[in-house]
Each structure stands twice: as structure tokens, then as C-alpha cells.
A and B are shown apart, each in its own frame.
Chain A
Amino acid sequence: MSAVTQPSASSGLPLPIPVLLRRIASNFVLRRLVRALITIWIVITLTFFIIRLMPSNPVDIFIQEQMSLYGMTYDDARAQASALFSIRMDRPVFNQYLDYLGNLTHGDLGKSFKSFGTPVSSMVAKFLPWTLFSVGLSLLISFTLGMALGMIMAYRRESLLDHILSTIGSVLSSVPNYLVAMVLLVFLGVQWKLLPLAQMRGSMTPGIQPGFTLEFLGDILFHAAMPVTTYVLTTVGGWMLTMKSSTITTLEEDYVTVARARGLPDSRIMTAYVGRNAMLPLFTQLAISVGFIVGGSVLIEAIFVYQGVGKMLIDSINQRDYPVMQAVFLIITIAVILANFLADFLYSRLDPRVRTTGGGEA
């Protein structure tokens, strides 16, 4: 009797099993954390390498421009560049690299070329929340919707609904998201004039007071509506189809059959037995999806003129505003890496098998 309820009591291990499990679980999370930090470090190093050491690197270009356009001496131009990039040029490259790392940990991302002297960190602080908001909201909607539709499709396999949703899902997920954005904009805004697109540009109406008021929430939703619709339309198909196949596999598992045999109500089997297990593969996809949506935001935000970091990146690239460009690139990448880590963490909480086997190896 005791062996059934308390396996650790009879196994005679030096460590009680719950403690051991917790250690392995924290190990999995720890491992992922270390990986995330190393990835961030690699990205930072690569970025430094590109802006400082490439043959035609922006720092040298900037110094040359200052010298030829404004007749500055090399030292003056170098001092100017040092101030804008927050790198002291007179020091050896390795020390510059260490400085660069040090500055980043203080949140000092350099200063903009174009809007002269504005710290990049304050620009990022202004634009980043909008991308996080629109991408986060889209992921939430798309993930939930995809999961629900996928389950329905699995339960009503081979029905008309299943076929229609499968076709729509596979078509939408194979068309590039910026094309979907353009088609939405051209038809809804220009051809049929259903939406006031000029007013929907930007991330909020100028002059509106930020705060937890209905007016403000309505306004930011109004402005985010088009990007969010695009993200959801182009990602929901993938979630739906994964969820469908995952649910079908789960439905054949023994524990589902046992649950049925025990006479549990269908609704409980659907949520606690099938749903919970079938959604696990979706979490591994979450990581890739975050990267893809954030990467795509560069295009989508440019198309809808939504003031997020994606548009900021494109603008800085077009204006060759290198300090802004490298900072935004770092921010986007770090955000995605952290989101990945979060997905891993969630996955380890949800799937008990990961805790014991260290899982995720495929």
C-alpha cells in the first residue's frame, strides 16, 4: 500500500525523489538560462565586430565623412565618433570591446546620428513597448485560437469544417506575411475604403493621455488592429495544424482510453487529459514563432507605419544611423532570446517528462 502512494519510501534512495526532481528541473531551466546568456553574448560580440572591425565599418565611415565633409582633423572626428558610439577610440580594440560590454550592462546604447545626440536607449524605450504589445497580443490570440480550432478539427476529423479549416490554414501559413499585410491594406483601405488607414497609422493618436482608461485602451487597440490581424492570420494556420495532429496522436494514448473507460465526462477528458498533453508540442514551436513574428515585424510595422522597434530598425538602416541600428538589432535579438527562454521555462513547468529526462532532445 505504501509502495503505491509513496514510492520514495520503499526505494531507499539517499535523496527523496521530489528533491531530486526539483534539482533536475532547476537544472533544465538553468541550462537554458546559461544558453540564453551565451547567445546574447555572442550576438553582442558579433554586433561589436560588425560596427568596429569590418572593412567598411560604420565608425571608420563616420570618421571619414566628418573629415571630408566638415574638414575636421582625424582626432576631432574620432572624438566625435567616440561620443556617439560610446566607445573610446584611442584605446586598443580589446579594451573598446570591454567598454562596449560595460556600457551595455549600464543600458548605454550610444547616441543617434540623425536626431543628433539623442540617447538611443530613450528611443528604444519609446518604441519597444509597442512592438511587445502588438506581438504579444497577436501571439496570445493566435495561440489560443489555433489551439481551439485545432482541437475542434481533431475531434471532427474528415468533416467539412476540418477540410475548410485545413485548406485555409495551409494557404495562409504559406503566403508571406508582408503580402497579407499589403492585400489587407489595399483592399480594406484603398479599394473598399472600409477603414480609415491614415488615422490608424502610428501606435496611438497624438495627444491622447496614456493610462488605464477605456479611451486609451480603445485607441491603442485601434492602432494595433492591422498589424495584429496580419500576425494572427499568418500564424494561426501553423498552430491549428500542429494542434490538430498533436491532438489526434494524444487521442490514441492509453491514458485517454483509460479515462474514457473510467467514465469521466468528455469535457474533463478534453481539457485535463487531451488538451493539456496535446498542447505541449506547441510550446516548442512558440520559440521559433516568436523569432519569426518579431523578425517579420520589421516589415509589417513598415507597411502599416506602426511605431515599433521593427520600423525603427528599418528607418535607422535607411538613414544609415548606425548606433540606433546596432542598438535596435541587439534589443530585438535579446527580446527574442528571452522569449525563447520563457517558452522553455513554461514547457518545463507543463511537461513533467522534461523534468525527469531533461527532455527536448529531438
Chain B
Amino acid sequence: MTALARTARNILDDVWRTLKLMARNKVGFIGFLGLIGFILLTFVGPSLVPLAAESHMTDIYKPPSAQHILGTDFQGRDIWAQIVHGGKDVLIVAFLTGIISTTIAVTLGSLSAVLAGFFDSFIMWITDIWLTIPNFPVLAVLAVFVKLTNVWALAFILSLLSWPTLTRAVRAQVLSLKQRDYVEAARALDLGTRHIIFSEILPNMMSYIAISLVFSMTSAIYAQVALVFLGLVPFASNNWGVMLSLAWTRGAIFYKDSLLYIMAPVTAIALFQLTLVWMTRSLEEVFNPRLRTSV
């Protein structure tokens, strides 16, 4: 067996073990499969399902058929195709926000717990103040002054709003882990700060960090779709928020036939949120070092 084949085998083993851990929690596993489904839908789907941009005035609000599985919208365009093409912005902004805010939170939170003293009180004071200011109005007002036209700008602003909750959580977690027996033992054995942080504390926090990441993703989805829906973020392309906004203003409250047009983005967004929340249950099992070694 060559070395390459061996590493490939190791990776496969790892993946298999992770999947087995995932499957320990049924709801979590469904969430995980759902997430894979959404990723495939939004990143692979567009190359399979063509998006028709032109309108067909004869096909307005058609019920589902073999040609249009979710029917058509107020301009006779296929709804399913819009769903497939509309998830990209939402997913990318969510992932970016999750990663940026988790990075800030893990850095500040663990520094706060380790350094203690003035730095700690200062950071906690800022998070305290930041947490009492209602997020969405801040975002709505900021959107007027800051051009949030690309996903990076939007993700950055959303991260600015979600880091305090995570920072506090990470700090609390580090504080409690610092006093565990195995950390004390490592310290008594003089294993070094780096070993303590990377081999003792971080692995035990991974599940926590992963779950926080997912929750900051869900709040990013909440906020960005809302901003697009209110017309505060000018996304020209297809996007679930844009669909929602159009469906709302162009038909949902007047025409009975428009039910699928509004329900399609509603269901997509709600399902994606649920998928993420459910997946957190499996993440707990996957990142738990005790389970990891025993399976």
C-alpha cells in the first residue's frame, strides 16, 4: 500500500467515524443531511436548473405542473428555479458572518478569561453595553449610511453585531475549563501554556465553538433576509430575501393564487434555519473528545 493510499484511507476512516458520531443523534443527523442538501441545492443546483429571466405574461401564477414544479410567479417565471438560484447570497453571508464573529469571539473571550484583570473587565463592560442595544434597529439605520452592496460588507456588519454574545459565552467556558482537574494536572506537570491551550482547553471547547458558530449563522440569516425584505440592502440578483419582498408586495396579500410564490422563500428560509439549529445537536457529539476516542 502506498503512502498516499494510506492517508486517503485515514481520511475516509475519519469521515466515517464523524458520520457515525453524527448519527448518534437522529434529529442532529437530519439537520446535517439538510445542510448538505441546502449546500448542494444552492451551489450545484444552479448549473442543473436554468434561471429564466424573461417574463411570460401568459403563465402568471400557474399552479404546479411537470414543467414548473412550484408553479410560476407574477411574471410567469419558474419559482423553483428562483429558489435554487436564490440561496447563494444567504448561505455565503451566513457562513462568513459565522466565521468572522466566532473568530472575534474566541480571541477576545479566551484572552479575557486568561488575562483577567483590567482587560477582562473592559471587554465585559463593552459586551454588556453592546448587548443592551437592540440589534436590528442599529442595523436598519446603519444600512442607510453604509453601502452594503457586497456580501463581505454585509457579513462584516452582521459580525459586529453578533460578537458580544459569543464572546461572553466563550469567556465563561474558558473560565470553567481552566479549573478542571485535567488542566490543573497539565499545569502541575508543567506541560506549557501552548499545550494547555491547544491540547487541553480548545478540544474541550470545540463543540461549544461550533454550536456558537451555527447560532451566529442563524441570526445572520434572520438579519440579512430582513434587511433585504425591507429594501435596505439593494441586492440586484436573485435572493430569497428579494423573492420574499417581491412576493409580499406583488401578490401575497391580494391574490389567493400567489400562495406558492410567498411560501417558497418562507419555507426555504425557515427550513434552513431549522436545519442549522437541529444540526447543533449532532455537533455536540462530534466534538466531544470523550466520545471521539471511544467509538
Interface set of A (CB-CB < 8 Å, partner B): 35-36, 38-39, 42-43, 50, 54, 56-57, 170-171, 174-176, 178-179, 182-183, 185-186, 189-191, 197, 287-288, 291-292, 294-296, 298-299, 302-303, 313-314, 317-318, 320, 325-326, 329, 332-333, 336-337, 340, 362
Contacts and interface: CB of A to CB of B under 8 A. Distances in A.
A325 B270 CA distance: 30
A190 B273 contact: no
19 contacts: A43-B133, A171-B274, A176-B221, A182-B244, A182-B262, A186-B252, A191-B256, A291-B131, A291-B133, A295-B136, A295-B137, A299-B229, A302-B230, A303-B248, A313-B141, A326-B141, A332-B137, A333-B133, A337-B133
A113 B259 CA distance: 38
Contacts of A326: 141
B141 A325 contact: yes
A179 B266 contact: yes
A174 B273 contact: yes
B232 interface: yes
Nearest to A335: B134
Contact of A50 (B141, B230, B248, B259): B141
A38 B262 contact: no
Contact of A183 (B135, B141, B232, B266): B266
Contacts, number: 120
B172 interface: yes
B249 to A, nearest CB: 11
Contacts of A294: 134, 137
B277 A313 contact: no
A317 B276 CA distance: 32
A287 B134 CA distance: 10
Contacts of A318: 231
A325 B141 CA distance: 8
Contacts of B266: 179, 182-183
A336 B144 contact: no
B145 interface: yes
A294 B134 CA distance: 7
Main secondary structure, interface of B, reads helix
B81 to A, nearest CB: 21
B131 A186 contact: no
Interface string B118-133: 0000000000110111
A-B interface, 5 closest residue pairs, ranked by CB to CB distance from nearest = A295-B136, A295-B134, A174-B277, A291-B134, A175-B270
Contacts of B172: 362
Contact of A317 (B133, B141, B252): B141
Nearest to A193: B256
B170 to A, nearest CB: 12
A357 to B, nearest CB: 16
B293 to A, nearest CB: 28
Interface in B195-245: 218, 221-222, 225-226, 229-232, 244
A76 to B, nearest CB: 26
B159 to A, nearest CB: 17
A176 B133 contact: no
Contact of A337 (B132, B137, B231): B132
Interface in B123-174: 128-129, 131-138, 140-141, 143-145, 168, 172
Contacts of A314: 140, 230
Interface string B255-269: 110010011001001
B19 interface: no
Contact of B137 (A57, A174, A191, A313): A313
B129 A42 contact: yes
A38 B129 contact: yes
A75 to B, nearest CB: 26
A359 to B, nearest CB: 14
B53 interface: no
A179 B134 contact: no
Contacts of A340: 132
